[in-house]
A and B are shown apart, each in its own frame.
Chain A
Amino acid sequence: MRVRTANAIVAGVIAFLALAPLMVALVASLTPDARLFDAPSAAAVRLVGDHYRALFAERAFWVPIRNSLIVATATTILALALGAPCAYALARWRFRGRGAVLALVLAMSMFPQISVVPPLFLLLRAVGLIDTYPGLVLPYLTFAMPLAVWFLVTVFRQLPVEIEEAAMMDGASRFTTFRRIALPLAAPGLVTTGLLTFLYCWNEFLFALTFTLGPERHTVPVAIALFRGQYQVPWGEVLAAALVATTPIALLVLAAQRRLVSGLTSGGVKG
């Protein structure tokens, strides 16, 4: 009984630490500006949706949401389409230097993003893609593709190799085996990898800040970071925007946390 109480207390503390900042923001985003400057109190506050209304009516917050959805979705699809064959080759094809290629892939996803900003900017400027959707998808692929390859190699390695050997015995080519056998079997892993890639793209800031010029092409994180009021920080609207940006992520984590966690840790630590 004592152990159970202790566990409940520990669980409560963890949940509080993880969620308290979000709860504070939620309450503040629903508090009218005039009341926001009062000391926080437990007394009943009239909650209003003014900040959320202003966010969409006056600040056209749906524009960055649209931009983020387009860029993140396009990057995820391309990263999976390009990454799956790469990952399959690395998982199944034995050749000298395979370890080195895998190491390179892992290293790529950990390089400082700023170190590829100069060439990407010059390239995008030369071909006129600054401030366009392709001008964001292309830079995003530099981190999204290695990430997808890295996770998918683990996914393909966990598939039983016998089924693929049987298919090839029956005369299927390497590519047919990949397309008709391995890919459908790897579907759950592809979904998890897609979710993780989408999450990284949705959250990305530096590239979006550097390669877009105005509100018309800003993604959600950039739009929120550059939020300005006329005289002071419009905290109510800023926090409302932050929570709107959080909602899809929170849903995603709740829906797929078990698979996200196992995907992350298997790609990261275990062999």
Chain B
Amino acid sequence: MTPWIVKNLWLIPALPALAAGVSALLPRRQRTLSAGLAIGSVGISLLLALCAFANALGQPVEAKQYFNFAWFEFAAGDAGVLKLGWVLDPLTAVMLVMVTFVGLLIFIYSVGYMAHDENFTRFFTFLSLFAGAMLGVVIANSLLLLFICWELVGLTSYLLIGFWYHKPSAAAAAKKAFITTRIGDVALLLGMVWLYSETGTLLFYDNGGGCLEQNALAALVTRATSLGMTVSTAIALLIFTGAVGKSGQVPLHVWLPDAMEGPTPVSALIHAATMVAAGVFLVARTFPIFGSTVESLVADGAAPVSGALQVVTWIGAITAVFAASIAVAQNDIKRILAYSTVSQLGYMMMGLGVGGVAVGMFHLITHAFFKALLFMGAGSVIHGCHEEQDIRRMGGLRKYMPVTFATYAIGMLALAGFPLFFSGFWSKDEILHAAHGWPASHIPFYLGMIGAFLTAFYMTRQVAAVFFGSYRGGTHHGEKARESEAHGGHAPHESPAVMTWPLIVLAVCAIGLSVIGTPWWPWFQEFLGKHHEAGEGGGVVGLMLFSSVIVFLGLGVGWWLYGRRPWQRADEPDALEVARGDIFSLLRNKYYIDEIYELTVIRFNAWWARVCDLLDRWLWGGVVQLVSYAVVGLSWVNRMFDEYVVNLGFDQGCKRLTLGGKMFSRLQSGQAQTYLRIIGAGLVVLVILLIRGSRGG
């Protein structure tokens, strides 16, 4: 018997989607109604998600409850039925609660943040649509359904990044995000098609017949592609490419920092907490394809690391350090957080690679809470400083915005991995611990440690610049200053309660979530299934001490460089810039990745487009032109023939005939005597003939 909640799991994404549909039709002035619809629908979804969660709690570990239905039939028989469905397992349950909960808080926050925007209704329409699509991704029991929602999520991301489309930078960022993620999605689509052709189904779980179940996996791991790797690895890598695009991993990370052009709640919800985590979720969902090897299917445990997981780990580890190092040199408050997000997503990928679903997902959940908190805190700061985003023009906000400061500090410590009290510490430590025990290589572990140090460092830098020292915002002269003058004084102010309360709730979660995943009570890991006990023993405490030292080192260096002597003026050079200008400018310019892409991929693309254009215009166009000219020529000949041969011949004939008629008609003089004369002549001739005839005869 399928429980009610499993059968009706579709309601959870459907409600926000419906709210989006309704508020899309509302007139622009119905602000309260559209916000109410969005918040109400997500609120109900949250309640349903909690029901689902409670249901999943009661189930044994590894239990999959799913509900499949035939979507449409394209051929007779069982193989011709395309099925879709949804699944309720611990992974889904956790994600559902996280997405609806964080989503609800961000929706509430948006009411305050977007209060002055005239397109308030449109904003909530998009947000609701996003929530619906994201929840669809989470519950999907079919790679196809997941892909559909995945693309919807990408679409809403595009719409929301370009929400202020009149800003050229926002429009460009939206396009960049859409196109960059599309590159990954093409690979995902290919992987999906391949998977379908190999297994004949896209359902994840289908009573033994799904593509993530034993039968299909056994077929996938034994077959080899022409490149030497198994089919499962190849498909996993294609799916992973989709995840790389969506989750902003190197080398497709370039869109995520630019996506900060969107409104801050969007950055918090989509580009920090949920959508970008969809890539991680996708890998977690299809983890059996990634992790399966011939050995692991035969005997549980003691299996070599699969090729796909190695790639996942390496990409994740490289991204973690790479993005963290860029974040060190950025000045835009949201951009720092964006690079931090990229870096943390790298951690999650690494966690999936080295430790399995539970490790990666734990970090995903904790990160979602504290990163949403940080972004909303940043939004509150931006709001309070009259739309200023440059951390050099902030400072001293501790005194002006106490609630924001307190919650932001909690988020920052959680992100940095401050020991014991913050969720980020436990989830990050879990990843590092798993990386330490990874049999394939130790380098990801060291990369993770460097990343942890950098994270602590840049977050300290940011907090020191924003909240400590003195306020530097009013001293510069520019358009912004005049604007803020007109706004009624330049002193920053605390945000309204509708914005601070979500911050407080999230801050509580950022601390409270730590209890569910400590090594001493790994409830979360057990809930999500296999808990790898790799390298158990005294290593945990030692490692924890080590990583704590790293974090304190990062915090200390950051404070020493930026907190001890805060910036006095906005245009003062960065402390790192003074020390090592060359490295700093390399980091400030994000390793010139954008420029490299501009010079290589984009230039190549443009060149190729031009070649195609020329080919089109001259070769294919030429052929078409040739054909058309040939046709025109033939028809011209035809016309000439018609006009000069057929028509002219006919006309000439007619003319001759008329002329002949005219000539003959001249005989008809109308004068009886003429006729008579002819008759007479005829008679004479007749008589002569007769006489001669009689004489001859």
A, B bound? no
Which A residues form the contact surface with B (CB < 8 A)? none
